Chain A
Amino acid sequence: MEIFTSTFTGLIETSGFMGMGITNIIMLLLSFVLFYLAIVKQYEPLLMLPIAFGMMLTNLPLTGLYHPELWNPATNPYFAPEYVENGANILVNFTKETSLDYGRVLHDGGLLDMLYLGVKLQIYPPLIFLGIGSMTDFGPLIANPKSFLLGAAAQGGIFFTFLGACVLNLTGIAPFTLKEAASIAIIGGADGPTAIYLTSKLAPQLLGSIAVAAYSYMALVPVIQPPIMKLLTTKKERAVKMGQLREVSKVEKVVFPIAVTIIVSLIVPSAAPLVGILMFGNLMKESGVCDRLVKTAQNELMNIITIFLGITVGATAVADNFLSFKTLFIIALGLIAFCIGTACGVLLGKLMYLISGGKINPLIGSAGVSAVPMAARVSQKVGSKENPSNFLLMHAMGPNVAGVIGSAVAAGVLLSVLG
């Protein structure tokens, strides 16, 4: 009988219920909200569902799947004062507070810690870009290189939001460091992998909230953008029909990824992991000689990485990081970033409309925020409402894919200044 009671109490003590706090319960409820968004509302479900599940797993106490403390450099025992006093400070100075004890991660880590290595070491986002590159047709952009300008203008949302986050610091409620402000601002790039890439480097503690905000707003592009587009354009501008794009030869399509990689990598080397791998995927596709590799990059590899990325990013959303005013501010700032980005794109589109003498429809400007191909579809939809025979889709694809390059470049710039 004694043995029975002791085993029974032992079982209860090691069960999750003992470690359950109020914060865990709130986080679990939040993960249920994300399940709802993913399954019922279908907001980017391929990522939202894994994120929600990762969030649920990590907030179930004592599962040991993910250990936030392993990823916090401050808890690295080699940085403890007594260790430094013992003459190990050369190593400390060398690695500084940014470095982690990966040996400890491998020793003590759980499943999600292992998978999180791919986020921490910046492996997953570029691999997702490989898949995106192998699916993207840059033809419309090559046919109309001016689209690059719209792709650049829409990045205005990023830098405006960076300012905004810093201004919010004046309230003193939840001050953001420069690195955190930059990570929040990148939500305006409307590009999940880029946002995760930059945040995991600059402010990993915000990864969960930034990823959730970025993917939620990307799913909401068809809701967020049209009112802004209509507000900033006149009926006449929206009804503009654009001339047909010229044919792009295969040679141009092959030269494009090579040239973009070289030019961008030379100017902003820190954007090379994203832009370079994106273009690598595109070259595999356009060259037409690696069909097997392209198939893998587009399907299996992309799917595997999406699963790993989603569930581990969700796992970083532990209560300590997530339940704060910062998360609320991030959600607000993310929305501002999207709106300003859209507005900047449309406004430059308007300018181009004026300069071109009414040949360019300003609606394609809003597609400059990446969110491929959703943003381009929104341009098409809003345009065809004004004039049902108007087909803006291919024209909007130009700024749209330029936006992917633009936001990767913007991330590179922020990294090189603040990284």
Chain B
Amino acid sequence: MNIALSLLSESGGTNVIGRLQGYAEAAEQVADPDYWSSVGIISITGILVVFLILAILIFFFWLLGLIFKAVDKKKAAKKAAKAEPAPAAPAPAVEEQSSEDEDMEEIVAVISAAVAAYAEAEGTSYTIRGIKRHSDARTRSAWSIAGITDNMQKF
């Protein structure tokens, strides 16, 4: 694995570097005939090793990604076959609801639970930053609109 570095040591590279390091002063290091070649080797092998390692990681995660995509497809196919009557989408309700209700806490808990359930189904997570009652511009509540759209979508 450690090809570049071992090459460096096998060919006496480390010995040269060891010798260079043995000098107390930088000026002595520079004066060594092998100084520039070893500086060049260190720089080039350095960047190559970094690329090599990250390339290995790319290959590994690319492979892993392929596997997971395949697994996900299978799962999605199964799900689609299984569940048609999915629960209504409560998403639009996130930013609506009361501010000074007496049972505020209960409502907040219900909304949070709904959002959490939704988030879990999606495989992500949401943060509720605030809950506000929607202005009364609409006559129907968000829930009934959600229900209606859900029923309508099938047609």
Binding site for B on A (CB under 8 A): 141-143, 145-146, 148-149, 151-153, 155-156, 158-160, 162-163, 166, 169-170, 172, 175-182, 246-247, 249-252, 255-256, 259-260, 263-264, 266-268, 402, 405-406, 409-410, 413-414, 416-418
Contact with B50, one of A143, A152, A178 (Cβ below 8 angstroms):
A152
Stretch of B20-28, B81-89, B95-103, B144-152 that contacts chain A: B20-28
* Nearest Cβ on chain A to B57's Cβ, whole angstroms: 5
B62 within 8 A of A: yes
B117 within 8 A of A: no
For window 5-36 of B, CB contacts with A under 8 Å fall at 5, 8, 14, 17, 20-21, 23, 25-27, 29-30, 35-36
Query: In the complex, what distance in Å separates the CA atom of A264 from the CA atom of B21?
Result: 26
Contact with B56, one of A155, A160, A177, A267 (Cβ below 8 angstroms):
A267
A249 to chain B: which residues have CB within 8 Å?
68, 72, 123
B60 to chain A: which residues have CB within 8 Å?
259, 263
B65 within 8 A of A: yes
Residue contact B43 to A160, C-beta cutoff 8 Å: yes
Interface size on B, residues (CB 8 A): 44
B92 within 8 A of A: no
Which B-chain residue is minimally distant from A153 (CB atoms)?
A: B51
A413 to chain B: which residues have CB within 8 Å?
5, 45-46, 49-50
Residue contact B61 to A142, C-beta cutoff 8 Å: yes
* Nearest Cβ on chain B to A268's Cβ, whole angstroms: 7
Contact with A177, one of B26, B42, B54, B72 (Cβ below 8 angstroms):
B26
Binding site for A on B (CB under 8 A): 1-2, 5, 8, 14, 17, 20-21, 23, 25-27, 29-30, 35-36, 39-40, 42-47, 49-58, 60-62, 64-65, 68-69, 72, 123-124
A247 to chain B: which residues have CB within 8 Å?
72, 123-124
Grouping DSSP codes into helix (H, G, I), strand (E, B) and loop, the B interface class, with mixed when no group exceeds half, is helix
B46 to chain A: which residues have CB within 8 Å?
158-159, 162, 410, 413-414, 417
* Nearest Cβ on chain B to A163's Cβ, whole angstroms: 5
Query: In the complex, what distance in Å separates the CA atom of A32 from the CA atom of B20?
Result: 39
CB-CB under 8 A for A177 and B64, given A162-B42, A409-B49, A417-B8: no
Query: In the complex, what distance in Å separates the CA atom of A149 from the CA atom of B25?
Result: 37
Can you name 17 A-B pairs with beta carbons within 8 Å? A145-B57, A145-B61, A149-B55, A155-B47, A159-B47, A169-B30, A175-B25, A175-B27, A176-B26, A181-B39, A246-B69, A247-B123, A251-B68, A263-B53, A264-B53, A266-B1, A413-B50
A142 to chain B: which residues have CB within 8 Å?
61, 64-65
Which B-chain residue is minimally distant from A255 (CB atoms)?
A: B64
Query: In the complex, what distance in Å separates the CA atom of A159 from the CA atom of B1?
Result: 21
B17 to chain A: which residues have CB within 8 Å?
178, 417-418
A143 to chain B: which residues have CB within 8 Å?
65
Residue contact A267 to B2, C-beta cutoff 8 Å: yes
